[in-house]
């Protein structure tokens, strides 16, 4: 494992923990897209179906369990424990517009036409667009709390570091995973505008990140 992969995993885990702690400490899910969290839980579920059948390393197994547990804990808090604080009126992105093409693409573009491989491919494609309901929610409300933007920043950083990981592995191992790389680049592109706003507004000390009003 290279430093970019490890840093990416740490950034990914940090993002999830930041979000979960925000919900737990404030006892509120305001400003958080439950739909995005359900999609991420679906990503981890379909990707880690081999949890009990394939052993790679203790690190790999522990990270799989942690990501699954934290993602379902987040969904539980949003839709069960703190449901009264969830802003469903603003979380209106039509996720079927994501699921249908992702499912279709998973059947058309994969490395082997087997259930496990198709589901793994589905998880890769879905992860690249799972954040869209959250970004749509921020656009709709016009602002986001700083803690939510920290969560999004670390998610975007995770993808950027994984791109560096793929470049490193290509040059050192000759390894190239076209599906993962293309999906990762697409996901990172979604964060580009957010990164600019994060640096120019949140890091300058504002409590919330407000989006510019359309002319």
Q: Which domain holds residue 113?
A: 3-202
Q: In this structure, is residue 71 part of a structural domain?
A: yes
Q: What is the pLDDT of residue 69?
A: 97
Nearest to 146 by CA among 195, 210, 212, 208: 208
Residue 78 in any domain: the answer is yes
How many domains are contained in the chain?
1
For 182, list phi and psi in degrees, rounded to 5.
-60, -45
**pTM for this prediction:** 0.88
Per-residue model confidence (pLDDT) at position 91: 94
Those residues whose C-beta lies under 8 Å from the C-beta of residue 79, and which sit 6 or more positions away, are 34, 86
Tens of pLDDT along 137-159? 888 877 777 777 888 889 989 98
**Residue 186 in domain:** yes
- Note the pLDDT of residue 6: 95
73 lies in some domain: yes
Q: Is the pLDDT of residue 58 over 80?
A: yes
Q: pLDDT at position 97, please?
A: 95
What is the per-residue burial (b if ≥16 Cβ within 10 Å, else e) of 92-114? ebebeebeeebeebbeeebeeee
Does residue 30 fall inside a structural domain? yes
Quote the tokens at residue 185: 């680049």
Reduced to 3 states (helix: H, G, I; strand: E, B; else coil), residue 174 is coil
Domain-located, residue 39: yes
- Beta strands (DSSP E) in the chain are 143-145, 208-210
Q: Tell me: pLDDT of 212 over 80.
A: no
Question: How does residue 72 score in pLDDT terms, banded at 50, 70 and 90?
Answer: very high
- Residue 145 belongs to some domain of the structure: yes
Residue 211 pLDDT exceeds 80: no
Residue 209 in any domain: the answer is no
Query: What's the pLDDT score for residue 33?
Result: 94
């Amino acid at each position: 494992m290279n430093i970019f992969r490890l840093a990416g995993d740490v950034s990914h885990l940090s993002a999830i923990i930041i979000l979960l702690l925000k919900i737990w400490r404030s006892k509120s899910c305001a400003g958080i897209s439950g739909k995005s969290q359900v999609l991420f839980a679906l990503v981890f579920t379909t990707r880690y179906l081999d949890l009990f059948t394939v052993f790679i390393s203790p690190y790999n197994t522990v990270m799989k369990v942690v990501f699954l547990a934290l993602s379902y804990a987040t969904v539980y808090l949003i839709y069960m424990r703190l449901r009264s604080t969830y802003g469903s009126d603003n979380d209106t992105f039509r996720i079927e517009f994501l699921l249908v093409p992702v499912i279709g693409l998973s059947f058309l573009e994969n490395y082997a036409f087997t259930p496990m491989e198709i589901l793994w491919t589905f998880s890769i494609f879905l992860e690249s667009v799972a954040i869209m309901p959250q970004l749509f929610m921020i656009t709709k409300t016009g602002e986001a709390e700083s803690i939510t933007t920290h969560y999004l920043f670390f998610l975007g950083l995770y993808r950027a570091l994984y791109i560096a990981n793929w470049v490193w592995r290509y040059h050192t191992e000759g390894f190239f995973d076209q599906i993962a790389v293309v999906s990762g680049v697409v996901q990172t592109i979604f964060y580009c505008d957010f990164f600019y706003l994060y640096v120019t507004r949140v890091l300058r000390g504002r409590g919330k990140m407000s989006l510019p009003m359309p002319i």
